[in-house]
Amino acid sequence: MQTQEQVKDMVRQKYAEIALQDKGTNASSCCGAGGCSTEVYTIMSEDYTALDGYNADADLGLGCGLPTQFAKIKKGDVVIDLGSGAGNDAFIARSETGETGKVIGIDFTPAMIERARQNNEVRGFNNVEFRQGDIENMPVTANTADVIVSNCVLNLVPNKDGVIKDIYRVLKPGGHFCISDIVLEGELPKQIKEAAEMYAGCVAGAIQKQVYLKLIEANGFKNITVQKNKAIIIPDDILSNYLSAAQITAFKQSGTFITSITVYAEKEAPKFPEGGLEGACCGSNCCN
């Protein structure tokens, strides 16, 4: 059993390789960093190209949804993109928050940060920045973001509860997040759960859908909504790297579903008594 740090090192190495490739190469592999399928396989089957702010050279084909489409980003918002990769979702968010807003992309892979910064420099955006760091301990002060988005990243992090806690810390009161991710209903075969390539491919690190949603609720979020639910089908030629023909048949008949979901949730705004802020004063430690 790998430690959390070993898992993170493995993911960092895989995504450092991916950062040097183009979308076509990534889209023909189960994990982005190698051609392990003869079929074109990518979890990302959504079409970004019609969205404002889309930049083909920032799209590595690594997502599993369109979180910005459901994120209710307004002009002037501060938006944080977790696991920002080459900058695709960050640039789309920037088109919605406009010149008066700000977008911060966070990624823990140095090669991804470098590529995103190069993409940003070409565009000359002075209100988009990319910071290197872990998303369960973001290099961002508390109560900074109006909106947090993320696309197929939390499944790569061993400490998912830590990420959700830090999302709550960084969001402003009344802020919200919109995250696309991979979850499970049923159990994956042991051979898939222990495969490094399948972990980097956003499958082996996925947790149960209900556990995922309960983690969000347990960390204080309200109005939790699954905005989109999409089945993920892994082709047989990928499964055959880990399972025998009989095991593949058994897996398909097991009732296990791998699903991409897009989840929206809000950090509750503080409630003041009648009379507004004045009525909320309650002593020397409350307000001046």
Residue 47 maps to a domain: yes
Residue 276 maps to a domain: no
Q: What is the pLDDT of residue 6?
A: 76
Residue 280 maps to a domain: no
Residue 65 maps to a domain: yes
Q: Which residue has the tokens 């309200």?
A: 222
Range of the domain at 40: 4-268
Q: What is the pLDDT of residue 7?
A: 76
Cα four-point dihedral sign 21, 150, 52, 230: positive
Q: What is the pLDDT of residue 64?
A: 83
Cα four-point dihedral sign 229, 230, 231, 235: negative
Q: What is the pLDDT of residue 274?
A: 56
Q: How many domains does the chain have?
A: 1
Residue 277 maps to a domain: no
CA angle, residues 56, 59, 60, in degrees to nearest 5: 130
Q: What is the pLDDT of residue 61?
A: 72
Asked if 282 and 202 touch (Cβ cutoff 8 Å), the reply is no
Residue 233's domain is classified under what CATH number?
3.40.50.150
Residue 274 maps to a domain: no
pTM comes to: 0.85
Q: Looking at the chain, list the stretches that DSSP marks H as alpha helix, in order from N- to C-terminal side.
A: 4-18, 23-27, 88-97, 110-123, 160-170, 190-193, 196-200, 209-218, 236-239, 245-252, 277-280
Residue 15 maps to a domain: yes
Distances (CA, A) of 44 to 47, 58, 121, 280, 283: 8, 14, 26, 48, 53
Q: What is the pLDDT of residue 278?
A: 47
Residue 122 maps to a domain: yes
Give 10-residue mean pLDDT values along the chain (288 residues). Answer: 74 76 51 39 58 73 84 97 93 95 96 94 95 96 98 90 97 97 92 81 86 97 94 85 93 92 94 56 46
